[in-house]
Amino acid sequence: MKRYSALRILKEGLSGHKGWQPAWRDAAPKPAYDVIVIGGGGHGLATAYYLARIHGITNVALLEKGWIGGGNSGRNTTIVRSNYSMEGNTAFYEHSLKLWEGLSQELNYNVMFSQRGHLSLFFTPGQRDALARRYNIMRLNGIDGEFLSRDQVQKMVPHLNYSEDSRFPIMGGFLQPRAGTARHDAVNWGYARAASALGVDIIQNCEVTGFIHEGGKIQGVETSRGEIRAEKIGMAVAGSTSLLAKMAGLGKLPIESHKLQAFVSEPIKPFLDTVVVYSAYNGHFYISQSDKGGMVFGGDLDGYNSYAQRGNLPIYTDVAGCAMNVMPALGRVKILRQWAGIMDMSMDGSPFITKTNIDGLYLNAGWCYGGFKAIPGSGWCFAHTIANDAPHEINSPLTLDRYRQGRQIDESGHGPFPKAH
């Protein structure tokens, strides 16, 4: 793999860009591998990369039923943060954010990570106290965070709705300065390129249709491109987790598949240089501005189970209403496009990176709203779990049996209701 550099871009520009090579090999499947990773999204690609780079396991097949970047990784609002408060989430998401901070250099690929900050607004004393508790826990764990008064928020983001007689008057906010956004496609492409260069076979248009069970353990998978064997198989398939779990014999998992919609407006001049979010009784809303100028925003789930990657009018109305409540200056901006990603929502809103009770099968699932920001940390921890047949300390709380043991990681305090997380 040739390294990207400013000098090489100049050289290729002067020679008609004839020297560029494909970013990764579009490999054909071999009969057998040491490890199979199912799912060519960010989590699967990161897992394959760290298996090769950190653990020296390069005989790896990454299977994607479509094309790289065609799933949830390309269907989100690109927010990266680590402002979590529950034990099990706090250390994990901070570890992931630290990996984000050096990711472009490590992969030699610009993932366009912009640490523009993440601002959580509050409108009532109760919301203020809840956020203060979260940010105090963060600070005690060495994670950055600061309180902003109403005047400080207004100075930072002057075009919010600060009217005293507004429906939801802004009282202040909490800021994580190191948080921000990244380019979703670039993250996938960067990991795919780096993993392929280390010897990983990235196999697209290869749908898993069944699992091969022999001697009480899984020995491989059946796919649309033939049978492929491996002693270890990791699943990172987001909203399709329940379908593959049933094929593998895992039974019913504590997750549901929901769709989460996102929207992008027409490009406008620089308007918002941070991420603004609120989540409370009055709705759920988050917004930032992309490098192309489009306003990228979203809100709540649809509230019913679905495998569809399309939206509906009730969510359009809800999200547009939230946008107008806090940022009325957007009223005449046109929506350019909309999409939906299939979320695997867990019962307590926190993920699983764990071994399963089937020998040779490992699970990465239950990411709810947190999937994109978790990509580097998820891949890093999942690769460690697969390579060592045991979790790392960071992901050791993220097991399937935590419900049976009564140690849920309920970040939002909604209880066992997947659609509420």
Pairing mode of beta strands 146-149, 172-176: antiparallel
Instruction: Find the mean pLDDT for residues 205-217.
Output: 93
- Indicate whether 166 pLDDT > 90: no
What pLDDT, on the 0 to 100 scale, is given for residue 281?
61
What pLDDT, on the 0 to 100 scale, is given for residue 413?
84
- Indicate whether 280 pLDDT > 80: no
Whole-number percent of the chain with pLDDT over 70: 99
Q: Residue 360: left (phi > 0), alpha (psi -120 to 50), or beta?
A: left
Orientation of helix 184-197 relative to helix 42-53, angle to 10°:
30
Instruction: Find the mean pLDDT for residues 189-199.
Output: 97
Instruction: Find the mean pLDDT for residues 294-311.
Output: 88
Instruction: Find the mean pLDDT for residues 401-407.
Output: 91
Give the residue extent of every domain in the chain.
26-109+183-254+348-420, 118-180+257-346
Report the CATH superfamily, name and number, of domain 118-180+257-346: D-Amino Acid Oxidase, subunit A, domain 2 (3.30.9.10)
Q: How far apart are CA 391 and CA 352, in angstroms?
A: 11
What pLDDT, on the 0 to 100 scale, is given for residue 172?
96
Structure tokens at 213: 């069970």
What pLDDT, on the 0 to 100 scale, is given for residue 308?
83
Structure tokens at 402: 């935590």
Tens digit of pLDDT for each residue in 214-271? 988 999 999 999 999 999 999 999 999 999 999 999 988 999 999 999 999 999 999 9
What pLDDT, on the 0 to 100 scale, is given for residue 69?
83
Orientation of helix 375-388 relative to helix 90-101, angle to 10°:
110
What pLDDT, on the 0 to 100 scale, is given for residue 282?
61
What pLDDT, on the 0 to 100 scale, is given for residue 178?
98
Radius of gyration of the chain (CA): 22
What pLDDT, on the 0 to 100 scale, is given for residue 168?
80
CATH topology of domain 26-109+183-254+348-420: FAD/NAD(P)-binding domain (3.50.50)
What pLDDT, on the 0 to 100 scale, is given for residue 304?
87
What pLDDT, on the 0 to 100 scale, is given for residue 50?
98
Tens digit of pLDDT for each residue in 383-401? 999 999 999 999 999 999 9
Which string of b and e fits 312-322 if b means at least 16 CB within 10 Å? eeebeebbbeb
Tens digit of pLDDT for each residue in 409-419? 998 888 888 88
Q: How far apart are CA 276 and CA 260, in angstroms?
A: 18
Cβ neighbour number for residue 340 with a 10 Å cutoff? 23
Instruction: Find the mean pLDDT for residues 340-352.
Output: 93
E strand or H helix at 362: strand 361-365
What are the CA-CA distances from residue 208 to residues 36, 124, 193, 243 (Å)? 11, 49, 23, 10
Q: How far apart are CA 69 and CA 257, in angstroms?
A: 20
For 309, phi and psi rounded to 5 degrees?
Answer: -110, 45
Q: Are 253 and 404 in contact (CB under 8 A)?
A: no
Tens digit of pLDDT for each residue in 3-21? 899 999 999 999 999 889 9
Tens digit of pLDDT for each residue in 142-157? 999 999 999 999 999 9
Tens digit of pLDDT for each residue in 34-82? 999 999 999 999 999 999 999 999 999 999 999 998 888 888 889 999 9
316 or 138: which leads in pLDDT: 138
Q: Could you list the beta-strand ranges (E) of 172-254.
A: 172-176, 180-181, 201-203, 208-214, 217-223, 226-235
- Indicate whether 213 pLDDT > 80: yes
Are 26-109+183-254+348-420 and 118-180+257-346 the same fold in CATH?
Answer: no
What pLDDT, on the 0 to 100 scale, is given for residue 409?
94
- Indicate whether 344 pLDDT > 70: yes
